Amino acid sequence: MQLPRNVIAGPGALESVGPICRSMRLKGRALIVTGRNTKGIAGDAVAESLSKNGYDADFLIVESATMENVEKAKRAARDTNAEFLLGVGGGKAIDIAKLASSQLDMYFISVPTAASHDGIASSRASIIQGGKSVSNQAEAPLCVIADTGIIMKSPYRLLAAGCGDIISNYTAVLDWRLAARLRNVYISEYSVALSEMTARMVLDYAHDIKPGLEESVRLVVKALISSSVAMSIAGSSAPASGSEHKFAHMLDQIAPKPALHGEQCGVGTIMMMYLHGGDWQRIRDALKTIGAPTTAKDLGIEDKYIVEALIKAHTIRPERYTILGDKDLPHEAAVNIARTTKVIE
Ligand SMILES: NC(=O)C1=CN([C@@H]2O[C@H](COP(=O)(O)OP(=O)(O)OC[C@H]3O[C@@H](n4cnc5c(N)ncnc54)[C@H](O)[C@@H]3O)[C@@H](O)[C@H]2O)C=CC1
Ligand SMILES: O=C(CO)COP(=O)(O)O
Ligand SMILES: [Zn+2]
């Protein structure tokens, strides 16, 4: 089980990046893997904090979470003689830096600029390989430094997406239990308990998650970290990624303009909860209350892609058995799932 050694979350946390690296006795140059926008939002401030504490740093700008970009990050780290990496930005920059540093045997520090995903502190990296999303084992970050002041200023849409990524733990756990019964896969009850508790916190406090509220940011950031930890305890993403994630990853593959990861996972959770015979209306109501998408229209994705993603979702991570089974869904069944749950009209 691998967990971060230090987790700092609070307003102004970015200033502690340099001092934390000192306290962790890190040596040498740093490579900051970040996005085009997030460099200005946080990357430059991270470099400044490092510099004040005697560290030189180089930047690598990345956009998509592909294996090519992981290789690019590894090359950049070698070319600049970096000795540790920081991922500064959304889930994609963090996953690229996380996997590159694991493969290079280097320390990694996670600096999220948005509360949009639960990969902040996990030991997993979701990377597109051969056109498909693959969940890779990686090392958990040495430290997580989440500046809630910066996250507070990020678009509310990102925070609402993070809630969708957390609420998806409900169906992920149902799928995991199903796979344990049908396929005899290992299940960690500690991980299940943490994963479900985290999702329940967001569901129960949905009314308190609103734009412009510091408390909302704090609640969601803590939930994302504990969901990450549930994955690290399990040693897999099973407690936080099941059929609803397969659906979301398939949409990323086929929709001309996919929505945010967490938004797609939230909509997937409504439909997969219906398939599991659970209270899908409660999931839908909570997402609505938070202001997260609940329909194809909200996602900005045409109905036909929702149906196609449902039919083919089982082909993502075929080794992870879920309620979607291991065959294409009949077209009519997929339409029925999406219509009954009001995802499509
Ligand atoms: N490794 C793991 O355990 C997990 C990995 N993931 C992966 O993470 C990715 C999804 O993460 P996202 O953050 O949704 O995607 P992302 O990294 O593409 O970020 C979404 C957008 O938010 C912008 N952004 C970030 N911070 C901002 C700020 N402060 N102000 C304005 N804009 C800002 C980014 O520039 C980007 O345009 C997917 O690839 C998903 O598979 C998701 C959950 C868990
Ligand atoms: O997105 C995730 C959990 O929220 C990561 O898991 P996968 O990459 O296995 O889907
Ligand atoms: Zn996710």
How many whole angstroms from 260 Cα to the centroid of ligand 3?
10
Phi-psi region for residue 131, left (φ > 0), alpha (ψ -120 to 50) or beta? Answer: left
Q: Is residue 332 part of a domain?
A: yes
Whole-number Å distance between alpha carbons of 125 and 98: 7
Bridge pairing between strands 124-129 and 132-137: antiparallel
Backbone φ and ψ for 63, nearest 5 degrees, come out as -120, -55
Q: Has 279 been labeled as part of a binding site?
A: no
> Would you give per-residue pLDDT tens digits along the chain (345 residues)?
889 999 999 999 999 999 999 999 999 999 999 999 999 999 999 999 999 999 999 999 999 999 999 999 999 999 999 999 999 999 999 999 999 999 999 999 999 999 999 999 999 999 999 988 899 999 999 999 999 999 999 999 999 999 999 999 999 999 999 999 999 999 999 999 999 999 999 999 999 999 999 999 999 999 999 999 999 999 999 999 999 999 999 999 999 999 999 999 999 999 999 999 999 999 999 999 999 999 999 999 999 999 999 999 999 999 999 999 999 999 999 999 999 999 999
Q: Is residue 71 part of a domain?
A: yes
Residues 196, 127 within the same domain: no
Whole-number Å distance between alpha carbons of 302 and 49: 45
Q: Is residue 1 part of a domain?
A: no
Q: How far are the Cα atoms of 76, 123, 125, 126, 284 from residue 17, in angstroms, in the given order?
A: 21, 20, 22, 25, 38
- The residue whose CA has the least distance to atom 2 of ligand 2 is 241
Q: What is the DSSP string of 321-335?
A: --TTTTSPPPHHHHH
CATH of the domain at 197: 1.20.1090.10
* pTM of the predicted model over 0.90: yes
Residues 141, 19 within the same domain: yes
Residues 326, 178 within the same domain: yes
Whole-number Å distance between alpha carbons of 166 and 174: 14
Q: What is the pLDDT of residues 298-337, one digit of tens each?
A: 999 999 999 999 999 999 999 999 999 999 999 999 999 9
* Number of domains into which the chain is organized: 2
Q: What is the DSSP string of 90-128?
A: SHHHHHHHHHHHHHHT-EEEEEESSS--TTSS-SEEEEE
How many whole angstroms from 88 Cα to the centroid of ligand 1?
10
Domain boundaries, position 77: 6-153
SS3 12: coil
Residues 79, 205 within the same domain: no
Which ligand is closest in space to the CA of residue 135? 2
Residues 119, 181 within the same domain: no
Which ligand 1 atom is at minimum distance from the Cα of 35?
Answer: 35
How many whole angstroms from 175 Cα to the centroid of ligand 2?
14
Q: How large is the angle between the packed helices 156-167 and 169-183, nearest 10 degrees?
A: 30
With a 6 Å cutoff on the Cβ, whether 39 touches ligand 1 is: no
Q: State the burial class of residue 256 (Cβ atoms within 10 Å of its Cβ: 0-12, 13-18, 19+).
A: exposed
How many whole angstroms from 65 Cα to the centroid of ligand 1?
10
With a 6 Å cutoff on the Cβ, whether 37 touches ligand 1 is: yes
Residues 168, 99 within the same domain: no
CATH of the domain at 133: 3.40.50.1970
Query: What pairs with residue 88 in β-bridges?
Result: 34, 111
Residues 96, 226 within the same domain: no
Backbone φ and ψ for 235, nearest 5 degrees, come out as 75, 20
Whole-number Å distance between alpha carbons of 299 and 267: 9
Q: What is the ipTM of this complex?
A: 0.99
Q: State the burial class of residue 207 (Cβ atoms within 10 Å of its Cβ: 0-12, 13-18, 19+).
A: exposed
- The residue whose CA has the least distance to atom 10 of ligand 2 is 241
**16: Cβ–Cβ under 8 A, 6 or more apart, which residues?**
8, 49, 145
Q: Is residue 270 part of a domain?
A: yes
- pLDDT at residue number 1: 85
- pLDDT at residue number 83: 98
- pLDDT at residue number 160: 98
* CB-based pocket (< 6 A), ligand 2: 118, 124, 126, 135, 165, 237, 240-241, 245
Residues 135, 163 within the same domain: no
Q: Has 207 been labeled as part of a binding site?
A: no
Residues 132, 183 within the same domain: no
Which ligand is closest in space to the CA of residue 260? 1
How many whole angstroms from 127 Cα to the centroid of ligand 2?
10
- Where among 153, 177, 207 does a domain terminate? 153
